[in-house]
Amino acid sequence: MTGIQRVILAVIVATVLNILTVDISAAERVYTTDEDQPVFAKLVFAADALKTMTEIPFRIEFGDDPGHRPILHSAVCSLTMPAMPMPANHPNLKCSKSTCTGTAVFTMAGAWQATFGLIMENGANTSISIGIDMVEMK
C-alpha cells in the first residue's frame, strides 16, 4: 500500500468513525410529568420524531433524585388519545427498581397521553400521566 493510499484510507476510516459517533441523545424525544403528578417521571422515546405505525422503543425513569428514587414492584402503561376513543394500546413493560422500558406503536397522528399505573415495593399504588404533544403520519 502506497503512502497516498494510506492517507486516503485514514481519511475514509476517520469519516466513517465520525458518522458512527454522532450523539445518540439527539435522536431522543423527552417528556416529563407536570408538577401536580404524585411521582416525577421522565419518558424518553428513542426517536427524534414520533411517527404512526412505527415501533418506537422508550424508557421511563421515575423520581428526579437518583438517591431517592421510588422503588417499583410493577407498572402498566396505557397509550390513549385524549380527544377520541381508541382501542386498547398497552405496551408491555420490563421494569427494574426505578426504570421501565417498552415499545410504543402509535396508531394515529395527533396528541397522545401515556398513563402509567404504578405499584410500589411498599404496596402503595398511584398513577401518572404524561402528555405527548404530537405524533406525525409515517
User: If you classify domain 25-135 with CATH, what class do you get?
Assistant: mainly beta
Q: CA-to-CA distance for 52 and 7, rounded, in angstroms? A: 45
pLDDT at 4 over 80: no
DSSP 71: P
pLDDT digits (tens, 9 = 90+) for 79-102: 999 988 989 999 999 999 999 999
One-letter identity of residue 135 = V
Domain locations in the chain?
Answer: 25-135
User: Has this prediction a pTM greater than 0.75?
Assistant: yes
Reported as a pLDDT band with limits 50, 70 and 90, residue 37 is very high
Three cell numbers at 108? 394515529
Three cell numbers at 127? 398513577
The side-by-side arrangement of strands in the sheet containing 72-80 is: 72-80, 110-120, 125-135
Q: CA-to-CA distance for 101 and 128, rounded, in angstroms? A: 16
Can you give the pLDDT at residue 125? 95
Q: How far are the Cα atoms of 13, 61, 62 from residue 101, in angstroms, in the given order?
A: 34, 9, 12
Q: CA-to-CA distance for 50 and 16, rounded, in angstroms? A: 27
* Structural element, H or E, at residue 5: helix 3-20
Q: CA-to-CA distance for 130 and 32, rounded, in angstroms? A: 6
pLDDT digits (tens, 9 = 90+) for 13-31: 555 444 444 444 469 999 9
Reported as a pLDDT band with limits 50, 70 and 90, residue 7 is low
